[in-house]
Amino acid sequence: LSMDDDYETEENNLLLEMIHASLIAYIVADFFGQLLFYSIETIVHRLHVQGVRTIVDNTDTARWKQVQIYTKIWDVYLLKFSLLYGGMLLAHGVIKKFFIDHRSSSPSPMTTSS
Note the pLDDT tens digit of each residue in 14-73. Answer: 888 889 999 999 999 999 988 888 877 877 777 777 666 655 555 555 555 555 566 666
Residues 6+ apart with CB under 8 A from 43: 73, 76, 77, 80
pLDDT band at 110 (very low <50, low <70, confident <90, very high): low
Q: Is residue 38 part of a domain?
A: yes
Domain that holds residue 57: 1-70
The pLDDT of residue 1 = 47
Per-chain mean pLDDT for the chain: 69
Q: What is the C-alpha to C-alpha distance for residues 14 and 24, in angstroms, rounded to an integer?
A: 15
Residues 13 and 48 occupy one common structural domain: yes
The reported pLDDT for the residue numbered 99 is 73
Are 34 and 81 part of one and the same domain? no
Q: Domain check: are 12 and 66 in the same one?
A: yes
Q: Please count the structural domains in the chain.
A: 2
Are 52 and 82 in a shared domain? Answer: no
Same domain for 80 and 64:
no
Whether residue 45 sits in one domain with residue 97: no
Q: What pLDDT score does 30 carry?
A: 92
55-70: pLDDT as tens digits: 555 555 555 555 556 6
